[in-house]
């Protein structure tokens, strides 16, 4: 699998951990300062949930589906071992159903599971059903019917700076297919620096309905530059993904929370709830995608 194929999901997972720790600290601080009295975390409500992170890629085995669990605010890790051993679930039972067949989940280590015998295909609906200690988490996703069709990836004019100078950015032009959502990851070396997708955050995803007047989806890639770098100075690959609409709903709601004006408010707001597609006794994401690799 490409080194960058799960970087967006990994970034989200890492950010979620940081936000969770911040939220815990903020809640306790509110109790200590706003009310002039200390509130014991023992009285705070806690609902244990499974946390799912799964990405299925067409043409590849259904693997790397990760199961962890939430912990209470007052949890203290006194064990000499890693905290991972506390949150990672090694005894999940379940399956992924596709085209009328149920493929059992098998633990491969560190809370990651594979659906034995299942190779992901385009245009197929996948249903996850997982149980752990009496709790059940479910999710459904549909892999887009086709791989993304990429016309070009090139340096294009992306606007102007305040001083009137030209702004350049790498931009992928994609032929839209109905209902699809597109994202792109990349890793380039050469020139004076490495360029990798996980260090940047411009225009992370676009829908087919976001096509420009030329009927192409324009997906900007990486940083903006005042001088257009020569394409010949860099080599590597771009991974262009197509997802279902639900991924847009999740991704957009997640980053709206992270970058909102009140993003330092751990309580958020009701209209900015993250659109997880895992339900039941679980939260998290379970999405299928197709991919086109473009070599530079």
pLDDT recorded at residue 36:
52
Residue 1 belongs to a domain: no
Residue 218 belongs to a domain: yes
Instruction: Look up residue 191 and give its two tokens.
Output: 């020139």
Residue 251 belongs to a domain: yes
pLDDT recorded at residue 227:
77
pLDDT recorded at residue 76:
86
Say yes or no: 203 and 73 in one domain. no
Residue 2 belongs to a domain: no
Write down the pTM of the prediction. 0.81
Q: What residue numbers bound the domain in which 122 lies?
A: 7-143+244-289
* Residues of the chain scoring pLDDT < 70: 1-43, 191-193, 197-203, 230-232, 256-272
pLDDT recorded at residue 22:
39
Say yes or no: 177 and 57 in one domain. no
pLDDT digits (tens, 9 = 90+) for 84-125: 889 999 999 999 999 999 999 999 999 999 999 999 999 999
Say yes or no: 91 and 198 in one domain. no
Say yes or no: 205 and 264 in one domain. no
Residue 19 belongs to a domain: yes
pLDDT recorded at residue 196:
74
pLDDT recorded at residue 197:
66
pLDDT recorded at residue 131:
98
pLDDT recorded at residue 2:
45
pLDDT recorded at residue 226:
78
Say yes or no: 155 and 237 in one domain. yes
Neighbours of 126 (CB within 10 A): 24
The number of CA neighbours under 13 Å toward the Cβ of 296 is 22
Residue 295 belongs to a domain: no
Say yes or no: 254 and 134 in one domain. yes
pLDDT recorded at residue 124:
98
Residue 296 belongs to a domain: no
Say yes or no: 161 and 224 in one domain. yes
Say yes or no: 266 and 132 in one domain. yes
Residue 49 belongs to a domain: yes
pLDDT recorded at residue 204:
72
- Is residue 197 within 8 A of residue 222, CB to CB? The reply is yes
Query: How much of the chain exceeds pLDDT 70, in percent?
Result: 75
C-alpha distances (whole Å) from 110 to each of 15, 65, 113, 136, 290 are: 20, 10, 9, 20, 26
Say yes or no: 210 and 226 in one domain. yes
pLDDT recorded at residue 28:
44
Domains of the chain: total: 2
């Amino acid at each position: 699998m490409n080194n960058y194929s799960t970087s967006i999901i990994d970034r989200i997972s890492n950010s979620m951990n940081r936000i969770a720790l911040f939220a815990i600290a903020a809640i306790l601080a509110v109790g200590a300062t706003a009310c002039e009295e200390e509130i014991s975390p023992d009285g705070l409500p806690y609902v244990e949930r499974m946390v799912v992170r799964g990405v299925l890629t067409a043409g590849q085995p259904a693997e790397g589906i990760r199961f962890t669990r939430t912990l209470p605010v007052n949890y203290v890790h006194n064990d000499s071992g890693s905290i991972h051993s506390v949150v990672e679930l090694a005894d999940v039972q379940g399956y992924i159903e596709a085209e009328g067949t149920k493929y059992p989940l098998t633990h491969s280590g560190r809370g990651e599971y594979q659906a034995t015998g299942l190779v992901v295909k385009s245009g197929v609906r996948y249903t996850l059903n997982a149980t752990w200690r009496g709790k059940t988490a479910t999710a459904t996703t549909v892999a887009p019917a086709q791989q993304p069709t990429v016309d070009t990836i090139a340096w294009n004019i992306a606007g102007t700076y305040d001083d009137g100078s030209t702004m350049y950015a790498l931009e992928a032009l994609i032929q839209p297919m109905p209902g699809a959502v597109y994202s792109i990851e990349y890793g380039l070396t050469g020139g004076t620096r490495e360029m990798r997708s996980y260090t940047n955050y411009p225009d992370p995803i676009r829908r087919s309905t976001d096509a420009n007047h030329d009927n192409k989806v324009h997906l900007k890639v990486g940083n903006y530059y005042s001088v257009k770098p020569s394409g010949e100075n860099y080599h590597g690959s771009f991974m262009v993904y197509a997802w279902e609409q639900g991924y847009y709903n999740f991704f957009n709601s997640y980053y709206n929370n992270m970058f909102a004006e009140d993003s330092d408010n751990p309580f958020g707001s009701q209209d900015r709830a993250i659109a997880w597609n895992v339900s039941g006794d679980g939260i998290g994401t379970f999405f299928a995608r197709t991919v086109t690799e473009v070599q530079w």
